[in-house]
Amino acid sequence: MQLRQLNTFRTVAETLNITRAAERLNYAQSSVTEQIQSLEADLGVALFDRSGRRIRLTDAGNRLVEYAERMLQLAEEARAAVSKMADPAGELTIGAPETLCVYRLPSLLTRFRETHPKVRVVLRPGNRSESRGGVREGTLDLCFTFGPPPTEPEFESMALAPETVVVVAPPGHPLTRMDEVTTAELAGVDFLVTEPGCSYRRMYDETLGSVRGPRPNVVAELTSIGALRSCVAEGMGCALLPQIAVAADLARGALETVPWTNARRETEVQVSWRAQGAESPGLRPFLDTARELLGTPAL
């Protein structure tokens, strides 16, 4: 069976008239008759009863109508899906922490725009909980987060290149003058953190906030990374952040790094999306671009 034959069969079944079917399909009547006869020969049954003044469907023909509709519809869906992959269009909504929005995603979004101009990207900054909640609820197509991948079965994830984590302090802080600083030596030191649910807060909780014995002294909790960096620069305390978030401040001397000896000096970066359900046409091409630009280099 060929799709062309099934389409001709469906049209004849709708019109029950070879002439009208040929006009609708823009075929010669002989071509319509030939296709029907070829289909009948392939199936080994008569699809139309031609004994009367008008043709009518046989029992086999009536049965084939349903299958022909389903097969032709599936073919259209397949054609549409493939064409969308080749030249996707529509909207792609992305969630990500502020740091990645500012320092990593601009180059990725620019590259994706160059190769897929028909996809409109919406970027929504948010913390880890907000972004993954948005993916779960369907308000986001995908999200970027720091830390391990989600464990819930409704998510799929892809690990990207990790980010370096540093402890930063105001210029001239005593810790910045030391050759090395252990986690134990950070006990009692004033620290600024972000709110619970934020990826940066998770970094702090897993490395410094969970140590046994004395810990750093959390003096402030801020929702803005920009505000947190400024407060550190003004002498309010230290902070644990991805290096990309403070690279410019370090370069101009507004902040200094603390030579922290902790072995965990990197944090994972994940991109996550729904494992099932409808996908934006731009999702898979965007993931390919993210893998190309931000993926872990091959060893």
Crossing angle of helices 29-43 and 18-25, in 10° steps, is: 110
pLDDT (tens digit per residue) in 75-105: 887 876 666 555 678 899 999 998 899 989 9
Q: Where are the beta strands (DSSP E) in 103-253?
A: 119-125, 142-146, 155-169, 190-194, 217-222, 239-242
pLDDT band at 299 (very low <50, low <70, confident <90, very high): very low
Domain ranges across the chain: 3-83, 90-160+268-294, 162-267
CATH code that applies to domain 90-160+268-294: 3.40.190.10
Q: What is the DSSP string of 175-190?
A: GGGSS-B-SGGGTT-E
Distance between CA atoms of residues 184 and 244, nearest Å? 25
- Rounded Cα gap, residues 70 and 80, in angstroms: 15
pLDDT digits (tens, 9 = 90+) for 30-71: 999 999 999 999 999 999 998 888 899 999 999 999 999 999
| pTM for the whole structure | 0.65
Quickly count helices (H) and strands (E) in the chain. Answer: 11, 11
* Measured distance CA(5)–CA(56) in Å, rounded: 18
Is the fold of 3-83 the same as that of 162-267?
Answer: no
In the CATH hierarchy, which top-level class contains the domain 3-83? Answer: mainly alpha
CATH for 162-267 (3.40.190.290, 1.10.579.10, 3.40.50.720, 3.30.2320.30): 3.40.190.290
Checking 59-68 for CB contacts under 8 A at 24+ apart, the result is 61/9, 61/13, 64/9, 65/10, 65/13, 68/6, 68/7, 68/9, 68/10, 68/13
